[in-house]
Structure 1
Amino acid sequence: MYLLIDKNNNKFWRFDYYHPYTKKRNTISFGSYPEVSLADARSRRDDARSLLAQNIDPSESRKLETINQVNSLKNTFSAVSEEWMTKQNLAESTIAKNKKFFQVIVDNIGDKPINSITPMDILNVCRIYEREEKYETAKKIKVKCGQILRYGVAIGLCERDVTQDLRGALKTPVVNHMAAITSPKEFAVLLSDIDHYEGTIITKTALKIAPLVFVRPGELRHAKWSEIDFEKNIWSYTPPKTKSKTGVELIVPLSTQVVDLLKVLQPITCNSEYVFPAITSALKPMSKNTINQALRRLGYEKKQVSSHGFRASARTMLDEVIQFPVEIIEMQLGHQVRDMHGRAYNRTKHLKERKEMMQKWSDYCEEIKSGVK
């Protein structure tokens, strides 16, 4: 090791050595003097000699370390999460929810390289919501972090998903099922009340159709005229919930009651692609809160009934009262139903039986509603 002094009197520490394998002479710099003291230079020289003893070129080792540091800055948790998002085929509403979760995550650990994320880093973010007693949200934060880390493993940026080490570390959220009326007598009163709803024809029609088709609320409000076949009396669409996983189309047979309601509404909303467009713009579907707000205006509290609860109402009464086979009901609900061999049923199967079931369900709803005084 020596001190090189150039013509401008600048001083640089240099170390000459022979490459471990080629035995060619090479030189490495340890910085300038006095910024790097003699003691520091000697320490760096000793480190270089230690590498040479292991047949490692100190110059190449330094370059590799620089590359790793640059990659670490590029492969932050924030950058990898953005890349993961671009790879997903998600509905717009899901993307919006993900961005909300990721913003909190990014604010806390976004700048850290993904390969240096620890279980405690994730836990600290989750506990932001635990302290607010938002246990379900805390769980979702952990799940989202796990998805990003597993993607990082897949593309070689980290070794494992460290959220696996957090099992049992978070409080278990209490499961709250969607409020639903499953008593035929009470359900009949609800149907009668819906007939007397005083609001726009779009909202009233959606409110009357919702219990008869019992699809997910988001699927109903995104229904498009192009998806409805009035010749076959069916509504065919791909549920957003399963679009990215299976892409399987769901067929909803339409009873004569539902068809009649749609034909009355069609001249009113045919200028929009959506069957139930928003009041403010025909380019957007009805708000996700519209049906629930209509139920509140009818005097039903949140703990009594919700738009999603129509699914449980139909599921219960079709099974216990009308006594249709459970697998047919589940298939129409869009749930994954398996046969005796464990294979998933095609949702287009048993269409004849499902058409019969949907018509009988509408007839049953009309019958119990007519008995309400």
Structure 2
Amino acid sequence: MKLTDQQCKNANVPSSGITLLSDGGGLYLEIRANGSKYWRMKYTSPITKKQVTFHLGTYPELNLKTARMECSKARLLITSGIDPKEEKQANKTQQHENRINTFETIARKWHTDRAKHPDKWTPDHASRVIRSLELHVFPYLGKRPIAEIMPLEVLDVLKQIEQAGKYDTAHKVYDVVNQVFSYAVVLRLCVFNPASELRRELAQVKQKPFPHITDPKEIGELLRRIDGYGGTIQVRTLLQISPYVFTRPSELRLIKWAEIDFQAALWRKEETEMKNGIPHLVPLSRQVIALLEQMKPFTGHYEYVFYNKSTGKPLSDNAANKAMHRLGYQGIATPHGFRHTASTNLNEMDYNRDWIEYQLAHKEKNSSRDSYNFAKYLDSRAKMLQEWADYLDGLKQQAA
């Protein structure tokens, strides 16, 4: 006979032991001597074929009507060949994992795994990636279980960045977030990647070149100002060498004495030190060799050529940029802009385009030429760089 709410409420509490009130279908109310009342259900497990007692909840928190609904749900699972007790335990485990596997937890694990491999990331790049997550993503998605995050939540974060006018940043953050979710999918912490189709929702960004100058007269004036820079010799020499070699600023800033072959007038960068992950050989003009020789008394006993004694580290990213600002070139020219200056002028001077591209360490886009030969055109590039250095010196003298 079915129970009523009144029977459940007014059921006598046994002086000892347990009283069971059956509602049928395996559902019953268990009443204990301390007054506690528990809804339980007995069934045969479809998996083990053994009798199982399943706890549904406590009365009156779980009333009679709700207890019957929970019992019906359990019966449906059994009919489908699922043991409701095991299913409940699995759900608890999943909920626990969700609490542990937040976006921030998994993102930091992904970052640590990537940063362990210098062939994938330089230390500077690793630092920029985690800082980007900390600024733009963790405050909004950091504490969310990564398995529960939906595409619209990710898009909201990216749109907030766009609304601040940081369109390029939004694309960079997207790339990072997309990689984190792909990593989580591989680890089976996510069923799908909610960021995978969001790139098309972002505003298109036209890449702008770094501020640079190409007019010969203006180049000569800039070089004269650099020679007269009154800051530290490390920063001044860094700026003086930059236009001669036109490597990426981070590559020059982190140049090591061990990478320089003075006799062969070559600077060898290992793949772990390069943005594109490809080793690179830079021929050194007489002017660059002289400037490096000039640095030996100051930093020759350290690992890095441009070593900052006050911090115990190489010069910071901003050291050269700040110097350019002090020279009056903010928004006009940057250390990275020397690459554009050289590329534009050398092409106009009819130097072989391949020599220029190899000197810029641009990765081959043609898949049939992926086996990049870092020593290719070395003699031709050495001749080109010496002529370029002589040309720059000529511009500097004309500006005097």
TM over 0.5: yes
CA offset at residue 308 of structure 1? 0.6
**Is structure 2 residue 304 aligned with structure 1 residue 261?**
no
Following superposition, the deviation at residue 209 of structure 1 comes to 0.8
**What SS does structure 2 have at the residue aligned with 1:163?**
coil
> Aligned residue for 2:313?
284
* Match of residue 127, structure 1, among 156, 159, 165: 159
| Structure 2 residue 132 is matched with structure 1 residue 101 | yes
For residues 209-255 of structure 1, the C-alpha deviation after alignment (integer angstroms, 9 at most, x for no partner) is 11101111111111111211112111112366746x63x32111111
Partner of 2:325: 296
Q: Distance in 1 between matches of 2:254 and 2:47?
A: 68
How big is the alpha-carbon RMSD for the aligned residues of Structure 1 and Structure 2?
2.2
Which of structure 1's runs of 4+ aligned residues deviate more than 4 A?
239-243
Within 5 Å, give how 1:64-79 maps onto structure 2: 64-79=90-105
- Distance (Å, rounded) in 2 between the aligned partners of 1:292 and 1:32: 68
The aligned amino acid for 1:275 is V
Question: Residues of 2 paired with 1:340 and 1:69: CA distance?
Answer: 46
Question: What letter is aligned with 2:112?
Answer: T
Corresponding residue for 2:336?
A: 308
Report if aligned partners of 1:336, 1:344 keep a CA contact under 8 Å in 2: no
Deviation at 1:179, TM superposition (A): 0.9
1:139 aligns with 2:171: yes
Tell me how far 1:174 sits from its aligned partner: 4.8
Q: Which residue of 1 aligns with 2:106?
A: 80
CA deviation digits over 1:255-300, x for unaligned, max 9? 111111111221122232221122523x211232222332333333
**How far has the Cα of 1:164 moved from its partner?**
3.3
Q: CA deviation at 1:85?
A: 0.5
Distance 1:23 1:154 in 2: 35
Most deviating of 37-46 and 234-243: 234-243
Match of 1:274 among 290, 304, 326: 304
Report if aligned partners of 1:332, 1:347 keep a CA contact under 8 Å in 2. no
Q: Which residue of 2 aligns with 1:217?
A: 249
Q: How many Å separate the matches in 1 of 2:100 and 2:182?
A: 18
> 2:366 and 2:147 mapped to 1: Cα distance?
43
Structure 2: unaligned runs, 5 residues or longer? 1-26, 116-120
Whole-Å Cα distance in 2 between the matches of residues 173 and 265 of structure 1? 41
Is 2:251–2:273's contact at 8 Å kept on the other side of the alignment? Answer: no
User: What are structure 1's unaligned runs of at least 5 residues?
Assistant: none
Residues 239 and 288 (structure 1 numbering): CA distance in 2 closer, same or farther, change over 3 Å? farther
Secondary structure in 2 matching 1:49: helix
Q: Shift in Å at residue 148 of structure 1?
A: 0.8
> For 2:221 and 2:237, how far apart are their aligned partners in 1?
17
Contact 1:30–1:41 (CA<8 Å) still a contact in 2? yes
Q: Distance in 2 between matches of 1:119 and 1:113?
A: 14
Shift of 1:55: 2.0
Q: Which amino acid aligns with 2:360?
A: L
User: What's the offset of the Cα at 1:338?
Assistant: 5.5
Preserved contact between residue 180 and residue 306 of structure 1 (Cα < 8 Å):
yes
Deviation at 1:314, TM superposition (A): 1.1
- 1 CA distance for matches of 2:394 and 2:41? 95
Instruction: Write the distance in 2 (CA, Å) between the matches of 1:121 and 1:204.
Output: 47
SS in 1 for 2:374: coil
Q: Report the alpha carbon displacement of residue 324 of structure 1 after superposing the two structures with TM.
A: 2.0
Helix, strand or coil for the counterpart of 1:341? helix
* Aligned residue identity for 2:288: V
Partner amino acid, structure 1, of 2:337: G
Normalising by the residue count of structure 2, what TM-score does the alignment of the two structures yield?
Answer: 0.85
Matches within 5 A, 1:138-287: 138-238=170-270, 242=274, 246=277, 248-278=278-308, 280-281=310-311, 283-287=312-316
1:88 partner SS: helix
Aligned pair partner of 1:324 in 336, 347, 351: 351
For 1:353, the equivalent position in structure 2 comes to 380
TM-score, normalization by structure 1: 0.91
From the CA coordinates, give the structure whose radius of gyration is larger: 2
2:37 to 11, 28, 46: 11
Cα deviation, residue 88, structure 1 = 0.7
